[in-house]
Structure 1
Amino acid sequence: MEDQIPYKSVPILEAPPLELIMERTKERKPFLIRNFDIGPCKSEWTPEYMSQKMGSTPVKIHVSIHPKLDFINKNFLYKTLPFDELLTRISSRKSENHFIQENELYYLRSLGSDRRGKDVANFMNDFPELAHDLKFPKVFDEAAFFSAILRISSAGIQIWTHYDIMDNILIQIRGKKKIILWPPSEVEYLYLMGDKSKVIDVERGHPEKYPKFIKAARYQCLLEEGDIIFIPALWFHNITALEMSVGVNIFWKNLPDDFYDKKDTYGNKDLTVATKAFSALENSIKALDTLPFEYKDFYLKRMVQMLQEKLESIN
């Protein structure tokens, strides 16, 4: 059943100059950058090299026996491993030392240095032993930088569909990834809970449970070693590691600083204006719950009509 849902291909830029990359980001659509010099990491970052550089540095990871990770229902455990032990387990596919079973899967999304999770991840500061090996296109002002995240995963791991509120680039260093993306305009078909989709099997789509999902227009690409993909803010994405995978994600603020929640360390909290609007909407709905059915039905439909008219006026 895989890949039965139609998709458009993400466009590829071959060895583009920085000026062209920056221009394309303004179009607010994903694109893939190929043959950009990402530095010695492409050849150097073997499991052995990375283990030698980082040693037993502890890292917090996701552990699961399910390839399709589900953040909403938490089909994984949070654990801590030494960095070199994590790479040993991922490389061997099966391990005598395990948390659940010998063929369990692992996913590292690096965090900041604060154990309470109160600071933002910055790969350049958190992994200085590796950071000098990496180059990436500087498509944003230094003041707009938000975070840089090291991602390492077992072959087969699929990360739940979600959106981010900031622009980002994903630099693929080891292994290949399959990436599926949906424009923000398809939000009504994606069955959201917060910033995440309830649809876990995005290949089948569960038409009996999520009948609208198949209507969502999607884009798709294969991210190979050395490739970089630009993912604009609000674009939904689902990423599968086809092989043992190592990559670095760079996020930056594409809007003025005041739009963002200053306490957001993960970059996944909605813009403050939107959060206030959602809260006001929830309060309005609760207020209408005090009315008899025919009145509640009437006023809810009027609210929907107001929103629909607003959407039509801006599209």
Structure 2
Amino acid sequence: MACKAEVPIFEAHSEQAFKDHVSFRREPAILRGANVGECVKVWSPEYLARKVGNLPVKIHVSPTPKMDFIRKNFMYKTLPFDELVTRASRKEQDCYFIHPQELYYLRSLGIEPRGTDIAHFSKHYPTISDDFKLPNVFDESKYFSSVLRVSSSGLSLWTHYDVMDNVLVQVRGKKTAILFNPNDSLNLYLVGDKSQIIDVDDVDNPQFPRFKKAIRYECQLLPGDILFIPALWLHNVRPLDFSVAVNVFWKNLGPDFYDKKDIYGNKDVIPAARALQTLQNATKLLSSLPAEYKDFYYRRMISELENKLDSVVKSESES
């Protein structure tokens, strides 16, 4: 069984302590009981359908509770927002794309038809934006985006990391969140920013033997909870009910580290993206060598990286 670690919970009266944690600690935390507005009381499926209406939204439709971005086991569809929330709040559908028990997920986008603008909750959902209030947990000058998320009960998003710090504000329903420290990335079998491990509860899967070594940070989010997810922390969330949340991202590093054309905020920071491209180029250069040479130089490259990693770990332990 994987090792478990606690996610600290700060009550509303300790809001400043939570802000200090966000500013100085690189670990998840929950702020509970803070004032996030009337949304917690009023955002029922019926209210959202009435207030937002038939605004077209692009969604994921999944035949299974565990979505897999690498293998794309879901469909992209467009529905009116009022129909989306009605369907997502039901266990079974009269009208469906795949089968009556299909599940739905919305990660709101910008309204520009060509997909060239950044998600901004208050701008794109003005009829409900006044219901939501975010405590001032980060420097507003670093704000990047705010994303409305709507999900069917039980639908897990794939395990992934984000390149920016963010807070997930759970508004409607309960949700289980599972997070992994970036230093466990070798145990998560990454392909890009996503893990190949779809079922995070299956720690004995023979395909992923190192996964059982990963330390699992698990918590349950209640309506009104604010979860801090630091950049690079891998996370997997599973709604236990019909779920509505607002996710707010900010640039915790200097603006020059981020790709200005990245409207989703999910591209690796520029120095890392260039380094990873260099690594890919290096493996291509070695591809013309005989097998024993490739084996040797791949191992030598790994050795160089391990030496760099050891120096980083040593530096962190001394600081």
TM-score per shorter chain, which class? over 0.9
SS of aligned partner of 1:301: helix
Equivalent position of 1:22 in the other structure: 19
Q: Does structure 2 conserve the Cα–Cα contact (< 8 Å) formed by 1:172 and 1:228?
A: yes
2:173 maps to 1:139: no
Give me the TM-score of the superposition, normalised by structure 2.
Answer: 0.95
Q: How far apart, CA to CA, are the structure 2 residues paired with 1:179 and 1:283?
A: 36
Q: How far apart, CA to CA, are the structure 1 residues paired with 2:21 and 2:13?
A: 10
Q: Tell me which amino acid in the other structure corresponds to 1:211.
A: P
Is there any run of 5+ residues in structure 1 with no aligned partner, and where? none
Equivalent position of 2:184 in the other structure: 186
Q: CA deviation at 1:17?
A: 4.6
Q: Does structure 1 conserve the Cα–Cα contact (< 8 Å) formed by 2:172 and 2:244?
A: yes
Is there any run of 5+ residues in structure 2 with no aligned partner, and where? 314-319
Q: How far apart, CA to CA, are the structure 2 residues paired with 1:109 and 1:288?
A: 40
Q: Tell me which amino acid in the other structure corresponds to 2:73.
A: N
Q: Does structure 1 conserve the Cα–Cα contact (< 8 Å) formed by 2:32 and 2:224?
A: yes
SS of aligned partner of 2:54: coil
Q: Tell me which amino acid in the other structure corresponds to 2:148.
A: L
> Which among 153, 156, 175 is matched to residue 154 of structure 2?
156
Q: CA deviation at 1:114?
A: 1.3
- Seen in structure 2, the aligned counterparts of structure 1 residues 218 and 302 have a Cα distance that, compared at 3 Å, is same
Q: How far apart, CA to CA, are the structure 2 residues paired with 1:35 and 1:87?
A: 26
Q: CA deviation at 1:292?
A: 2.7
Q: CA deviation at 1:150?
A: 0.4
> Which among 272, 276, 279 is matched to residue 278 of structure 1?
276
- 1:264-304 CA distance string (max 9 Å, x none): 11111101111110111111121122223333333222222
Q: CA deviation at 1:245?
A: 0.4
> Which among 255, 258, 277 is matched to residue 257 of structure 1?
255
Q: Does structure 2 conserve the Cα–Cα contact (< 8 Å) formed by 1:16 and 1:33?
A: no
Equivalent position of 1:305 in the other structure: 303
- 1:1-22 CA distance string (max 9 Å, x none): xxx5341121100114543222
Q: How far apart, CA to CA, are the structure 2 residues paired with 1:92 and 1:305?
A: 53
2:117 maps to 1:124: no
Q: Tell me which amino acid in the other structure corresponds to 2:253.
A: L
Equivalent position of 2:52 in the other structure: 54
RMSD, matched Cα: 1.2
Q: Tell me which amino acid in the other structure corresponds to 2:27.
A: K
Q: How far apart, CA to CA, are the structure 2 residues paired with 1:173 and 1:307?
A: 42
- 1:29-57 CA distance string (max 9 Å, x none): 00011110111111011111111111111
Equivalent position of 1:237 in the other structure: 235
Give me the TM-score of the superposition, normalised by structure 1.
Answer: 0.96
- Seen in structure 2, the aligned counterparts of structure 1 residues 206 and 65 have a Cα distance that, compared at 3 Å, is farther
2:4 maps to 1:7: yes
Q: Tell me which amino acid in the other structure corresponds to 2:214.
A: A
SS of aligned partner of 1:159: coil
2:232 maps to 1:217: no
2:166 maps to 1:171: no
Q: Tell me which amino acid in the other structure corresponds to 1:89.
A: R
